[in-house]
């Protein structure tokens, strides 16, 4: 892609996100979402492969429908209450429509079908943007309207997302699809707590973004898209592969690692809110995600396919690992001990 074009699209992405997260008026928020959608489409379809074009088309149709629902919700609310302020979403029908729209934007169950397909058709760099930066504006809207939303509906969506995200990820061999279902599962954790403690949702999102960025950048660095190629990637950069293993386990939420922190805090908050059945259920459903993360981790370090090359180390160039990958993977692994400090920041 032309560097100037890429620069324009990247700036547009930043602009759209900034407009949405900083606006108080529904029309401005909607405009930011639209700018975001239009800016990411060329980045999805830049390889000109039929699958990329298909992914871009699916993404456009889904996001256009969701943006329409956002606009419809805000107009309904304005019609009944005279308020265009995002935080003043008081009409029940409007909040219901908005929840559906945001669920569609984020890829929450039952509006999740587009996300794995779009991620599979996108390059890894675009997949990273789709999984992290593109989730920020909808989550911000959820955060701002959290006091007006229906708790039962959100809890149902969250538990379904954790369940479907875990189940559908079990049988995948394409890493981008696995990461898509992982994202759906994580979104379930973010959604279940947003009414009771919205700051925890943001903390979860930030940590998820950091860990996912570490995984995507590592995979992009070692040029891996499938489990079968991941099995032989250990010969390229062994140290990076070891860190990828730990980052995967951190995404799964295993205790000594950073990813355990949001799960721990969310379960604690749900217990405080006397939602013990929901906390138990979503904790058990996270075991499904743990299974496919362990599968990825296993493929990363231990298993070799039957027909490997005869020599131990593949020929490789002297390309060093990017410093950003080193920082992100380290933070994805060792932030749990400083969790009290993190909690004072949020």
Q: Which of 149, 173, 192 is the last residue of a domain?
A: 149
Residue-wise pLDDT tens digits, 32-64:
999 999 999 999 999 889 999 999 999 999 999
- Tokens 């456009």 correspond to 60
d(CA 346, CA 37): 29
Residue 171's H or E segment, with its range, is none
Task: Please check whether residues 237 and 221 belong to one and the same domain.
Answer: yes
Q: Is residue 315 part of a domain?
A: no
* 131 and 226 both lie in a single domain: no
DSSP codes joined into one string, 162-226? HHHHHHHHTT--BHHHHHHHHHHHHHHHHHHHTTT-HHHHHHHHHHHHHHHHHHHHHHHHHT--B
Report d(CA 182, CA 184) in Å as an integer.
5
Expressed as residue numbers, the domain containing 52 is 1-149
Report the predicted TM-score, pTM, of the whole model to 2 decimal places. 0.93
Which is more confidently placed, 71 or 231? 71
Do 88 and 188 fall within a single domain?
no
Q: How many structural domains comprise the chain?
A: 2
Worst-scoring range by mean pLDDT, 6-10, 194-198, 234-238?
234-238
139/235 same-domain check: no
The CA distances from residue 66 to 46, 105, 113, 206, 265, in Å, are 24, 6, 14, 24, 31
Residue-wise pLDDT tens digits, 104-139: 999 999 999 999 999 999 999 999 999 999 999 999
Per-residue pLDDT tens over the stretch 300-322: 876 555 555 555 555 555 567 78
pLDDT digit string, tens, across residues 258-292: 999 999 999 999 999 999 999 999 999 999 999 99
Opening angle at CA 134, ends 131 and 135, nearest 5: 75
Residue 153 has pLDDT above 80, yes or no: yes
Pair 185, 296 in one domain: yes
129 shares its domain with 30: yes
Yes or no: say if 340 and 267 are a contact pair by the CB < 8 Å rule: no
Residue of 48, 187, 27, 193 lying closest to 122 (CA atoms): 48
Q: Which among 122, 149, 176 is the end of a domain?
A: 149
Decide if 126 is inside a domain. Answer: yes
pLDDT, averaged across the chain = 91
In a domain, 242, yes or no: yes
Report, as an integer, the average pLDDT of 167-184.
94
In a domain, 312, yes or no: no
Q: What is the pLDDT of residue 312?
A: 55
**Are both 67 and 215 inside the same structural domain?**
no
Out of 81, 114, 149, pick the residue that ends a domain.
149
| Same structural domain, 55 and 154 | no
- Residue 233 and residue 270 in one domain: yes
Residue 316 in any domain: the answer is: no
Residues 208 and 301 in one domain: yes
Round to whole Å and give the CA distance between 36 and 206: 19
65-97: pLDDT as tens digits: 999 999 999 999 999 999 999 999 999 999 999
């Amino acid at each position: 892609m032309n560097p100037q074009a890429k620069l324009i699209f990247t700036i547009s992405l930043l602009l759209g996100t900034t407009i949405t997260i900083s606006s108080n008026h529904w029309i401005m928020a909607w405009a930011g979402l639209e700018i975001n959608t239009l800016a990411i489409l060329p980045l999805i379809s830049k390889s000109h492969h039929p699958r990329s074009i298909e992914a871009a088309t699916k993404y456009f149709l889904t996001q256009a429908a969701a943006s329409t629902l956002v606009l419809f919700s805000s107009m309904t609310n304005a019609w009944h209450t005279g308020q265009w302020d995002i935080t003043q979403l008081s009409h029940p029908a409007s909040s219901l429509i908005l929840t559906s729209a945001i669920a569609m934007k984020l890829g929450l169950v039952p509006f999740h079908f587009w996300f794995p397909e779009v991620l599979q058709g996108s390059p890894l760099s675009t997949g990273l943007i789709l999984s992290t930066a593109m989730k920020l504006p909808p989550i911000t809207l959820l955060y701002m309207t959290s006091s007006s939303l229906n708790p039962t509906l959100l809890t149902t969506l969250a538990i379904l997302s954790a369940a479907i995200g875990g189940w559908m990820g079990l049988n995948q061999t394409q890493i981008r699809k696995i990461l898509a279902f992982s994202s759906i599962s994580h979104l379930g954790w973010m959604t279940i707590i947003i009414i009771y403690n919205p700051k925890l949702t943001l903390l979860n999102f930030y940590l998820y973004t950091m860990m996912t960025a570490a995984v995507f950048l590592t995979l992009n660095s070692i040029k891996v898209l499938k489990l079968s190629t991941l099995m032989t990637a250990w010969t390229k950069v062994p140290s990076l592969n070891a860190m990828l293993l730990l980052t995967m386990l951190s995404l799964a939420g295993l205790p000594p690692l950073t990813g355990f922190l949001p799960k721990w805090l969310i379960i604690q908050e749900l217990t405080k809110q006397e939602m013990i059945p929901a906390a138990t259920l979503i904790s058990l459903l996270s075991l499904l995600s743990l299974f496919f993360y362990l599968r990825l981790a296993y493929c990363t370090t231990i298993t070799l396919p039957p027909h490997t090359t005869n020599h131990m180390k593949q020929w490789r160039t002297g390309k060093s690992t990017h410093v950003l990958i080193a920082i992100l993977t380290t933070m994805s692994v060792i932030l749990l001990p400083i969790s009290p400090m993190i909690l004072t920041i949020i």
